[in-house]
Amino acid sequence: MGACAEALLWLLFIVLTFISTDQAIASDRAYPMLLVVLGVAGAGCLVLGVLRRREGRSAVSGSGIGRPGWRALGLTALPFLAMLCWAGITIPFATHVALSNRFGPLVHIRLPMASMVVPLVEAALVVLVAVGLVVGIGRRRLPEALWRAFLVLAASTLISIVWQVATRHAMVRRAVDGKLMWRTSTQLGGQATYHLALLLGIGVAVDAIRRRYRAGVSWLIIAGLGLAIVLSGSRAGLICLGLFCVALFIWGRPAGGRGRGGRRRTLVGVLGLAALAVVAGALLWLRGGALVDHDRAQTWKVAWRAVTADPTTVIVGRGHATIWPWFATESGIVPGAIHGLRPGPFGKSLVHAHNTVVQVGGELGIIGLVLLLVSVVGVAVLAFRGIHGRHLGICLALLASLPALVLDTYLVKNFQVSLVWWLVAAAVAVLMARPADHDQPTDSDQPADRP
């Protein structure tokens, strides 16, 4: 059954890379294709789970992930699912309107219930599908399965980028002088967000090189995904990639590497970091030289004023989809531009917070923020546990991805990229579930790709 779950993961990566799953499947624009894709994937995971049990191999023991793995998954996933439940609870207690002046004077548009519920369902399905895939693959074959899956993602990404360049779909205006520049992306995510999935793939490939598993192809994966991050023009992408490289330079060097080979690796690492710094500096200049622009700062000020207006709202928030009814706007339910500042119930702001912490804290208050942080900190603790072990690359990549959560809105938005993040987070939770012996697995849990 592990092979079937792995094939399902490949299919998901291909579909999400080449097909725009944000497009609506009905005329009311409230139900995106992603909802169907995640539903089918979730059903597939359930079928594989039932078949596994019929074969006499319990999903809780044996060839699955073991009870420690289930406990680790619960630590990371359940608080986030509880946060989504809290978001749903806040819906009836708030007024949900959006403002639009596209057709003349400013008008108030009452939001349909589907525009508030569908994003919560998508966020929950993303977590459940990621967990289901990891459980279906099983702990024993997980490292090798992730490597093959990200090989598929790397190949799909490069094919998509070549098509964009060939058809000139990757041209955008520079912030400095308005001239055209290249910025590429795929249907997996926008130019400012999909770097998160690419970085996690680089971490998986680094682990493969460290254990001498298909090192040549792994270097190609790193080169391809690294090039895609640079071509995306994402400042956050280069920041996260730089953090990963620095962390890998510090923790990834072999012990006792003071000989000629060790000095050569150190020199290569220093030159690589210097080259990355040059690229990052040039990109910052092209993008305007600042990490936080005026529009984002204005959006965060609106959130602060909205949530601190009353002591109660500090605790419970303004309510889901009140400050930023982004789904209604981006789906076209509410007419108007989806880029730049636009009028809202609490002042002019961007369509969403461009910051996961601000997005959750503003609408769900301290209650929602605590639940989110419990989940994210749980992932960080499990990843930090593995930085001295055989899964150093994927753990460092996961840790380096965390700053992206405050540079854009993930987990409660950008669900395609969030699926990849949850997949790797669930994999790390399972692989790090045994603190005493996760670096020396037993025969029943020994990864198939050990050196």
- State pLDDT tens for residues 88-131: 999 999 888 888 766 556 777 888 999 999 999 999 999 999 99
The mean pLDDT value for 27-34 works out to: 87
C-alpha–C-alpha distance, residues 385 and 219, integer Å: 25
Greater pLDDT, 344 or 207: 207
Nearest by Cα to 201 from 6, 388, 417: 417
CB environment 25-53: b (16+ within 10 A), e (fewer) = eeeebbebebbebbeebbebbeebbeebe
| Pair 319, 363: CB distance under 8 Å | yes
Q: For the whole prediction, is pTM greater than 0.75?
A: yes
Q: What is the pLDDT of residue 277?
A: 67
Phi-psi region of 180 (alpha: psi -120 to 50; beta: other; left: phi over 0): beta
Q: How far apart are the first and last CA of the chain?
A: 24
Nearest by Cα to 330 from 320, 319, 318, 342: 342
| Pair 158, 149: CB distance under 8 Å | no
| Pair 77, 131: CB distance under 8 Å | yes
Nearest by Cα to 234 from 179, 150, 177, 172: 172
Count of residues in the chain: 451
Tokens of 125: 């399905």
H helices present in 66-214, as ranges: 66-90, 113-137, 142-166, 195-210
Over 90: is that where the pLDDT of 301 sits?
Answer: yes
Over 90: is that where the pLDDT of 380 sits?
Answer: yes
Range from 56-65, 212-221, 242-251, 326-335 that averages highest in pLDDT: 212-221
C-alpha–C-alpha distance, residues 129 and 61, integer Å: 20
